[in-house]
């Protein structure tokens, strides 16, 4: 059975016409697969490579560079929460917020809660320094958050 | 024009109801600049932008019109425009506001700039974290296709353009223009050795222009109101310095850190950091004083309190030892904050974001972070200070040891923190104190 869903294949194919090279569809393809499955499995890498006429090693080379994509050994929880720790957020409690969430959830940055609900990540500048400390849930920014806000938003 | 009388230009529509839609943008005079541009020769548009003195807002301040002229004249085949929406410099969020609140202003700038540079495909590289921007832009681009503002024969001019959104994957290095191009091509975002510059050989080995979002947002206004109008704002070029290209036009200043009112402010180029903090940022919070201020994103380094009267134009921060204006993202650090913790945070950022391609950057950023961590644990040595300074003068394009400027950005916080706050570092190391900051040690 194919690892990529019909929808994923279609989206990948739709992207091919936008670029003069098939390789340029690597990031869009990795995004669509991870969005659907919470990780990019080895089988998915192979299938993306086949669609883009690349070797799986080329896909993996790009995938592993970004630190954004997860393998099947380390899939994402239902929600992915990024807490910013860069200077503007640090100055307004970003590091304390991250430490507090680690303590409450009993996990370290990069890990997922045992119930599979939330993956906690540390982020470098999220571009919302006017609302420090800020966080990103999946790809939506929230500004001026406290640990209680985070709990309410992702586990409430 | 005084700053008090200044009415926002780029942020003029921000906060209005439905400011992100095509109908309100058109009702406010949107896309008239495009119609005007399409009635001109593309070279006339380039000349106008050149005459305006517009310099890139992404950090390096390179003159935009001049950049466009580097494209080969007699080229056949595609030319690409890459929009740099990978805004990731700590302290910087102006592109986010521009895109979320007024996407058509940016997109009109993209179409005009594409026309000027004879581009028929533009790629909008957007950092992944800006999910809302992505959805706003997607809708705005759809509206444009439906209204003959993109696609074939735009507004009956015979000019064709497609704009494609391309999402990044959380890597600061993709903001470096050749890192962006490599990432767009589906590879790891390793910056390229230059030359060839992108104008000669960029995306997909074709001539390419890479422009920042705020830069592009200025373009429709220059078309509408002219080069003289643009040059009526800001700081004129220094007649005694042939290399100074002046600092013209409006600028978005991001204010963050220890102020009462963090936010985004638009002003003519050249306000002092002190006025920006006191008059527009609500002053330093909790009745405290500023100890240090980042003038334009963390990679520019630090100004001390007594340097705060420095004008924030392209030339100002350099006169007090900073790398430059950068993204004009001002981060205020109050006098209760340890510069050791601040510098550690900056070094850790660059160690995390170094792409690993050049050894001096990869090792220099990692070791400076480790040394500062040791100092924070109370195990520092006085000689560490000079080791940090030695690292900072050995990494980057200025000493000539790396391919891109990320390492220069890592070096300047080190140089300026130590040179301007050395007694604090010495006292801290001698005391053997442990940092009270809650930073997670060893977190990846």
Would B292 be classed as within a structural domain?
yes
Do residues B268 and B365 both lie within one domain?
no
* Residues from chain B contacting residue A31 (CB–CB below 8 Å): 128, 167, 169
Would B176 be classed as within a structural domain?
yes
Q: Where are the alpha helices (DSSP H) in B8-73?
A: 22-27, 32-38, 42-52, 64-69
Cβ contact, residue pair A125, B89, below 8 Å: yes
Predicted pLDDT of residue B175? 95
Proportion of chain B above pLDDT 90, given as a percent: 94
Averaged pLDDT, B419-426: 98
How many domains are contained in chain B? 3
Tokens of A90: 């640090």
Distance from the B190 Cα atom to the nearest Cα atom in chain A, whole angstroms: 10
Cβ contact, residue pair A95, B346, below 8 Å: no
Q: Which of B96, B100, B169 to mutate to test the interface with A (most CBs of A within 10 A)?
A: B169
Contact pairs from chain A to chain B, CB under 8 Å = 169
Q: Which of B43, B62, B132, B54 is nearest to B96 (CA)?
A: B132
Compute the mean pLDDT over every residue in chain A, rounded to the nearest whole number: 96
Would B437 be classed as within a structural domain?
no
CA quadruple B170, B171, B176, B177: dihedral, nearest 10? -50
Could you tell me if A89 and A82 are in contact, meaning their C-beta atoms sit under 8 angstroms apart? no
Eight-class DSSP state of B108: H
Give the model's confidence band at B444: pLDDT under 50 very low, under 70 low, under 90 confident, else very high: very low
Give the model's confidence band at B240: pLDDT under 50 very low, under 70 low, under 90 confident, else very high: confident
Would B238 be classed as within a structural domain?
no
Domain-terminating residue out of B175, B206, B232: B232
Do residues B259 and B285 both lie within one domain?
yes
Domains of chain A (ranges, CATH numbers): 6-66 (1.10.10), 79-155 (3.40.30.10)
Is residue A133 pLDDT above 60, yes or no? yes
The overall pTM is greater than 0.90 = yes
Do residues B386 and B322 both lie within one domain?
no
Averaged pLDDT, A2-25: 97
**Strand locations in B240-305 (E):** 247-248, 250-257, 263-268, 290-294, 303-304
Could you tell me if B55 and B61 are in contact, meaning their C-beta atoms sit under 8 angstroms apart? yes
CATH classification at residue B273: 3.10.20.600
Report the run of H or E that residue B331 belongs to, with start and end. Answer: strand B329-334
Residue-wise pLDDT tens digits, B361-375: 999 999 999 999 999
Distance from the B110 Cα atom to the nearest Cα atom in chain A, whole angstroms: 17
CA quadruple A127, A130, A133, A137: dihedral, nearest 10? -50
Do residues B216 and B284 both lie within one domain?
no
Domain-terminating residue out of B334, B359, B386: B334
CA–CA separation, B12 and B338 (whole Å): 38
**Between A25, A122, A127, which is nearest B88 by CB?**
A127
Residue-wise pLDDT tens digits, B28-66: 999 999 999 999 999 999 999 999 999 999 999 999 999
Predicted pLDDT of residue B142? 98
**Between B88, B167, B346, which is nearest A27 by CB?**
B167
Distance from the B166 Cα atom to the nearest Cα atom in chain A, whole angstroms: 7
Predicted pLDDT of residue B1? 55
Do residues B213 and B328 both lie within one domain?
no
**Between B88, B169, B440, which is nearest A68 by CB?**
B169
CATH classification at residue B355: 1.20.1440.230
Q: Compute the radius of gyration of chain A from its Cα atoms.
A: 17
Predicted pLDDT of residue B39? 97
Is residue B263 pLDDT above 80, yes or no? yes
The residues, any chain, with a CB within 8 Å of residue B42's CB and separated by 6 or more, are B115, B116, B117, B118
Cβ contact, residue pair B186, A138, below 8 Å: no
- ipTM of this predicted structure: 0.97
Domain-terminating residue out of B301, B318, B334: B334
Compute the mean pLDDT over every residue in chain B, rounded to the nearest whole number: 96
Would B182 be classed as within a structural domain?
yes
Give the model's confidence band at B435: pLDDT under 50 very low, under 70 low, under 90 confident, else very high: confident
CA–CA separation, A121 and A99 (whole Å): 11
Give the model's confidence band at B443: pLDDT under 50 very low, under 70 low, under 90 confident, else very high: very low
Do residues B265 and B358 both lie within one domain?
no
Do residues B330 and B345 both lie within one domain?
no
Q: Residue B303, Cα to own-chain centre: how many angstroms?
A: 18
Distance from the B335 Cα atom to the nearest Cα atom in chain A, whole angstroms: 12
Predicted pLDDT of residue B440? 55
Q: Is some CB atom of chain A closer than 8 A to the CB atom of B377?
A: no
Predicted pLDDT of residue B441? 47
Do residues B259 and B321 both lie within one domain?
yes
Do residues B189 and B70 both lie within one domain?
yes
Proportion of chain B above pLDDT 70, given as a percent: 98
**Between B162, B188, B258, which is nearest A65 by CB?**
B188
Distance from the B131 Cα atom to the nearest Cα atom in chain A, whole angstroms: 5
SS3 of chain A: the string is: CCCCCHHHHHHHHHHHCCCCCHHHHHHHHHHHHHHHHCCCCHHHHHHHHHHHCCCHHHHHHHHHHHCCCCCCCCCCCCEEEEEECCHHHHCCCHHHHHHHHHHHHCCCCCCECCCCCEEEEEECCCCCHHHCCCEEECCEEECCCCHHHHHHHHHC
CA–CA separation, B90 and B409 (whole Å): 11
Residue-wise pLDDT tens digits, B100-152: 999 999 999 999 999 999 999 999 999 999 999 999 999 999 999 999 999 99
**Between A31, A85, A125, which is nearest B88 by CB?**
A125
CA–CA separation, B392 and B386 (whole Å): 10
Would B441 be classed as within a structural domain?
no
CATH classification at residue B79: 3.40.50.11540
Q: How many CB atoms lie within 10 A of CB A129?
A: 33
- Structural domain including B272 reads 249-334
Would B351 be classed as within a structural domain?
yes
CA angle A35, A31, A80 (to 5 degrees): 50
Would B10 be classed as within a structural domain?
no
Q: Is some CB atom of chain A closer than 8 A to the CB atom of B180?
A: no
Do residues B189 and B127 both lie within one domain?
yes
Do residues B286 and B209 both lie within one domain?
no
Predicted pLDDT of residue B327? 97
Distance from the B47 Cα atom to the nearest Cα atom in chain A, whole angstroms: 30
Do residues B67 and B158 both lie within one domain?
yes
**Between B172, B329, B342, which is nearest A124 by CB?**
B172
Q: Is some CB atom of chain A closer than 8 A to the CB atom of B263?
A: yes
User: Judged by CB atoms within 8 Å, which residues 82-111 of B form the interface with A?
Assistant: 87-93, 95-96
Residue-wise pLDDT tens digits, B164-189: 999 999 999 999 999 999 999 999 99
Chain B CA closest to residue A80: B129
Averaged pLDDT, A54-74: 96
């Amino acid at each position: 059975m194919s690892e990529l869903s019909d929808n994923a294949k279609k989206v990948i194919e739709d992207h091919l016409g936008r670029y003069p090279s098939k390789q340029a569809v690597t990031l869009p393809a990795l995004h669509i697969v991870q969005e659907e499955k919470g990780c990019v499995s080895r089988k998915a890498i192979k299938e993306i490579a086949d669609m883009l006429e690349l070797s799986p090693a080329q896909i993996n080379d790009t995938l592993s560079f970004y630190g954004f994509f997860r393998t099947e050994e380390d899939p994402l929880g239902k929600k992915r929460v990024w807490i910013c720790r860069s200077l503007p957020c640090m100055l307004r409690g970003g590091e304390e917020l991250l430490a507090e969430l680690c303590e409450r959830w009993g996990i370290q940055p990069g890990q997922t809660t045992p119930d599979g609900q939330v993956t906690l990540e540390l982020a470098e500048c999220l571009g919302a320094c006017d609302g420090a400390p800020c966080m990103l849930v999946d790809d939506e920014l929230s500004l001026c958050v406290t640990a209680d806000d985070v709990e309410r938003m992702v586990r409430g | 024009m005084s700053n008090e009388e200044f009415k926002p230009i780029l942020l003029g529509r921000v906060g209005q109801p439905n400011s992100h839609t095509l109908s309100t943008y058109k009702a406010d005079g949107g896309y008239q600049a495009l119609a005007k541009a399409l009635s001109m020769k593309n070279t006339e548009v380039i000349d106008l932008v050149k005459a305006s003195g517009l310099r890139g807002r992404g950090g390096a301040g390179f003159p935009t019109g001049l950049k466009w002229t580097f494209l080969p004249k007699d080229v056949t085949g595609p030319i690409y425009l890459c929009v740099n929406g990978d805004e990731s410099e700590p302290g910087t969020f102006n592109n986010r506001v521009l895109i979320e609140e007024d996407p058509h202003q940016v997109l009109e700038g993209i179409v005009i700039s594409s026309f000027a540079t004879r581009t028929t495909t533009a790629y909008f590289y957007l950092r992944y974290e800006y999910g809302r921007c992505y959805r706003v832009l997607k809708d705005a681009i759809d509206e444009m296709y439906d209204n003959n503002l993109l696609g074939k024969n735009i507004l009956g001019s015979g000019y064709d353009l497609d704009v494609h959104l391309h999402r990044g994957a959380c890597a600061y290095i993709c903001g470096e223009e050749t890192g962006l191009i490599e990432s767009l091509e589906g590879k790891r975002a390793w910056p390229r050795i230059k030359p060839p510059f992108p104008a000669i050989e960029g995306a997909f080995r074709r001539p390419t222009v890479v422009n920042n979002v705020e830069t592009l947002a200025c373009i429709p206004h220059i078309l509408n109101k002219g080069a003289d109008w643009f040059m009526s704002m800001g700081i004129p070029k220094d007649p005694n310095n042939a290399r100074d290209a002046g600092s013209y036009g409006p600028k978005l200043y991001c204010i963050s850190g220890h102020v009462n009112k963090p936010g985004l402010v638009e002003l003519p180029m050249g306000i002092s950091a002190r006025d920006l903090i006191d008059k527009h940022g609500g002053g330093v919070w909790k009745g405290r004083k500023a100890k240090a201020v980042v003038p334009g994103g963390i990679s520019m380094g630090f100004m001390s309190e007594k340097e705060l009267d420095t004008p924030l134009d392209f030339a100002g921060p350099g006169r007090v030892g900073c790398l430059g204006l950068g993204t004009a993202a001002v981060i205020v650090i109050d006098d209760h904050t340890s510069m050791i913790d601040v510098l550690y945070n900056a070094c850790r950022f660059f160690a995390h974001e170094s792409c690993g391609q050049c050894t001096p950057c990869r090792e220099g950023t990692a070791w400076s972070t480790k040394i500062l961590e040791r100092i924070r644990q109370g195990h520092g040595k006085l000689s560490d200070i000079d080791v940090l300074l030695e690292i900072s003068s050995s990494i980057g394009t200025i000493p000539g040891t790396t391919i891109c400027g990320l390492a220069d950005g890592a070096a300047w916080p080190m140089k300026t923190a130590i040179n301007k706050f050395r007694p604090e570092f010495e006292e801290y190391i001698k005391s053997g104190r442990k940092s009270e900051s809650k930073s997670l040690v060893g977190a990846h």
